[in-house]
Structure 1
């Protein structure tokens, strides 16, 4: 083990040797108490030590995987299930209606806060705790089932779902969803119309391919929450029918991630995009990423393309879109390289890649939590106000419109150290899950241990890069148009643009600037507001 230990130690030193910076989780500069490379080195060393302990204590060489069952099973009462099904339909309708017909001021409209913070973030994190409840409260599926009671053949499908399509429709829709989040100028009306269009798409696809096939393979929220639900110790089993009985099985956390393997490469790409899109979101507004274009790509282009600065601003965003869409394939190439290094199992490269796919889900989950959990503190409480005045017309239906007036801003040190802890925990779980899978597919414990050194190095790389991205300072003010290169967009102007309905500022960055503005801080280099390319104002 001496030679192997040297290789691991050298890999840790090489990967962890990155410079220090400042955390960019929200709009206040926070100087790390120690350089970021020390955090990365400590986290990497912890991963390596945990790996060696797993190799020493865990038995192997068999066909057993981690079992979920602890023989606790209960029937979920029908009435709560029915209530939550129809509540999900009501919330979908309310989000669409408030988005289209309500006020277009983002902070006063129910749709944006509920969808992006309550549903996309809060419900995702809840799913990892209590399991995939979305499977039986999916509002689009609930509507299809309700229609099916009166027209039984409406969603049985007129075309057999092609096997080669697999999860590619869900992947494409997921990529479009992330593009909308990052670059789509999601005003309330835009969001409402998008959800309306997505509703019609689901109905059309369910009628064409059948509801069972479409909501398994094509509806990307169903795929997304199903994957996150595998983290939970609770699994749900439904009986067939429009009002199915639901049983809950309680077992060990993460066990579902080892019970099955990804069934198709498209699902592997979906998981990798869960990873890469969050990493991209964390990196694409940081100074190194911005400088990659404006310092190394933009100057040579000006010699061969005679266009005004506004043209290159548009080109900059096109370049970002391409990088976003290529990100899962870049991650796939890296992942396959390390999986290719695992030899001796008798499985093909494809089979090995699919076998270890689910071990990446805890990393994808903690990346998401680390990047966005502060929004649950800063924006989540606003839902108490907005539910009483969802259209932003000054109503107070439930007497909660005046609640939660003070914004909750967690301390920067708490945010940073929570992020470090979560990233380390997620990677430790992934190392454990990968080791369990290795013990299942490799005939001998020694071969299983040796096979996991490439995965260990990959996990260390993910850990280090994740911490490095979180530590980077935001620095995208120099892409403003028509301001000259290097100019900054003050928070007050960003807030004014949004309040005026132009929708030229990224929603998340607007919230960051709002936090800074509410604190009474002036712009002195802590956060740059990232503007979007100028578009016609939405009335």
Structure 2
């Protein structure tokens, strides 16, 4: 039975790969989604979207044939542990933290006094190329680096803290609210084009997060309250490497998504869905349909800032509602006494793989093209070379966006399959419970592929 399931798993991976490659080939002229260079598809849009959705649906169908629990356990629980003495790690983290604090000060200084050209300013390059793109990619591709590089955690070590106990009932809701504010400001404020505005934003955020760490303990605040730290912690659940008390643990990418991981309640579910929605939202508002929607609402008298805020909350509510409906329907079709809330919590971690795929699709090309500017500016932060060096990437890089999205969804499909066999004792119940979640993932896939297939422009009425 184990050999048969192993062969079936290989067939599953091969079929999924072939479907993904076929979809990528059909979308060989898709837009990168970040460079603003729209190109026409060589196939009808409906066929391109149907192919992507079919790739995910077919992969889910094939995954359902893998019913050997021992094989699923070996794939998700097999790991290699490396023991490392704590003292070198502690000194390394301290040194990294000190360097991060110095870099934070340099970001604020160069944002205020450096070049006005965003691509040549250290503040913009470090925050968006190094942090928003590069460090987040490290978090889900390798391991979560934020506990070591978090400059505010290093600063708060010399400040009094723990004045009040963090209320358990809040969970990560403060981080959800904070991330919503960040997403909105990134669209409506010129933080990625005006270095001085970015420096002010960094200062305001520094005061906010240091205050939270002082009022509550740093451990509680950076685990639950700080949106940046929570974002890295959640993305770190996808990574193949994690830090343990004895050293490091190595496993397959996404292996820990079978566990509840960082999702401890409905607040965690809300944060996961926000990670999925935020890049969808950021992509939508710079595409022709998004710009047309904004212009239409502004045309009837709605202020632009309110339009973007309304779209942010409306789309987020739609994502939350669709996931909750899928959860309720999964409970019904599985004919189980397991609560819908428990199902929502257990099936939420696999969605982190989708969020990681979205992030990689949106930021990989951006990171590669601007990494030379980042490196040269770090080498000479006070007098960066002008004009900035930007790599011109070949057109086939657009294929990677499609591939990243599909790989993220395929990993989510498999992780959800493993979760279902963890939750339900019956194989039939486990398979039935996946139907609604697969349907939601297919919709997510087609939506994201539709967005990356369109040209992009500046968001209307802002920046």
Same fold (TM over 0.5): yes
* TM-score for both structures, normalised by structure 2: 0.85
Residue of structure 1 in register with 2:455 after alignment: 473
Q: 1:193 to 1:446 in 2, by over 3 A?
A: same
C-alpha distance in structure 1 between counterparts of 2:404 and 2:72, whole Å: 31
Asked if residue 419 in structure 1 is aligned to residue 401 in structure 2, the reply is: yes
**Higher helix residue share:** 2
Which consecutive unaligned segments of at least 5 residues does structure 1 have?
1-15, 149-153, 239-245, 302-311, 475-527, 535-539
Residues 1:29 and 2:17 aligned together: no
What is the number of equivalent residue pairs in this alignment?
A: 427
Distance 1:420 1:127 in 2: 21
1:33 deviates by 2.4
Q: Conserved in 1, the CA contact under 8 Å of 2:101 and 2:155?
A: yes
Counterpart for residue 259 of structure 2: 259
- Residue in 1 aligned with 2:241? 234
The Cα shift of 1:34 comes to 2.0
Any idea what the Cα deviations from partners look like across 1:392-421, whole Å, max 9, x if unmatched? xxx37xxxx47x965312233x23321111
- SS at 2:254 equivalent: coil
Q: Is the 8 A contact 2:165 2:216 kept in 1?
A: yes
User: How far, CA to CA, are the matches of 2:120 and 2:380 in structure 1?
Assistant: 8
CA distance in 1, matches of 2:412, 2:348: 10
Q: How does 1:61-210 map to 2 (within 5 A)?
A: 67-75=76-84, 77-78=88-89, 79-145=91-157, 147=158, 154-155=160-161, 157-186=162-191, 187-210=194-217
Shift of residue 189, structure 1, vs aligned partner: 1.7
Aligned pairs for 1:13-24 within 5 A: 23=31
Q: What per-residue deviation string (whole Å, max 9, x for no partner) do you get for residues 191-223 of structure 1? A: 212212222222221221111111111111111
1:207/1:355 CA distance change after superposition, 3 Å:
same
Pick one of 439, 445, 448 that aligns with 1:463. Answer: 445
1:93 deviates by 1.7
CA distance in 1, matches of 2:426, 2:183: 42
Which residue, 309, 315, 328 being the options, matches 1:327? Answer: 315
2:52 corresponding residue in structure 1: 43
After superposition, give the CA deviation of every residue in 1:94-136 in whole Å (9 maximum; x if it has no partner): 1122112333332331101110111111010011122112123
* Structure 2 partner of 1:380: 371
Which one of the candidate residues 55, 67, 70 is aligned to 2:64? Answer: 55
Partners of 1:227 and 1:66 lie apart in 2 by 21
1:119/1:294 CA distance change after superposition, 3 Å: closer
Question: Does 429-438 or 206-215 show the bigger shift?
Answer: 206-215
Q: Please state if 1:216 is matched with 2:223.
A: yes
SS at structure 2 position matched to 1:56: coil
Q: Distance in 2 between matches of 1:463 and 1:260?
A: 23
Q: Which secondary structure state, in structure 2, belongs to the residue aligned with residue 270 of structure 1?
A: helix
Largest Rg, 1 or 2: 1
Q: CA deviation at 1:37?
A: 2.5
Q: Deviations over 1:215-256 (max 9, x none)?
A: 111111111111111111111125xxxxxxx72111222122
Q: Contact (CA 8 Å) 2:240, 2:251: kept in 1 or not?
A: yes
Q: Work out whether residues 37 and 455 of structure 2, in 8 Å CA contact, stay in contact via their aligned partners in 1.
A: no
**1:353 is matched with which residue: 338, 344, 350?**
344
CA distance in 1, matches of 2:94, 2:196: 30
3-state DSSP class of the match of 1:380? helix
Distance 2:70 2:32 in 1: 45
Residue 65 to residue 319, structure 1, CA distance change in 2 (3 Å) = farther
After superposition, give the CA deviation of every residue in 1:285-312 in whole Å (9 maximum; x if it has no partner). 22222333545x566x3xxxxxxxxxx4
Between 226-235 and 379-388, the greater mean CA deviation after superposition = 379-388
Q: Is the 8 A contact 1:65 1:258 kept in 2?
A: no
Contact 1:61 1:440 in 2 (8 A): no
Query: Contact 2:273 / 2:320 at 8 angstroms: preserved in 1?
Result: yes
Tell me the distance in 1 between the aligned counterparts of 2:45 and 2:77. 37
Matched residue SS, 2:134 = helix
TM-score (normalizing by structure 1): 0.74
Q: Cα RMSD between the aligned structures?
A: 2.6
Greater mean deviation of Cα atoms: 50-59 or 204-213? 50-59
Aligned-partner Cα distance in 2 for 1:138–1:292: 38
Is 1:410 the counterpart of 2:418 in the alignment?
no
Q: Is the 8 A contact 2:420 2:434 kept in 1?
A: yes
CA 1:70/1:29 → structure 2, altered by over 3 Å: closer, same or farther? closer
Query: Hey, what does 2:419 align to over in structure 1?
Result: 437
- Checking the alignment, whether the CA contact within 8 Å between 1:22 and 1:32 is kept in structure 2 is yes
How far apart are 1:31 and its partner, in Å? 1.9
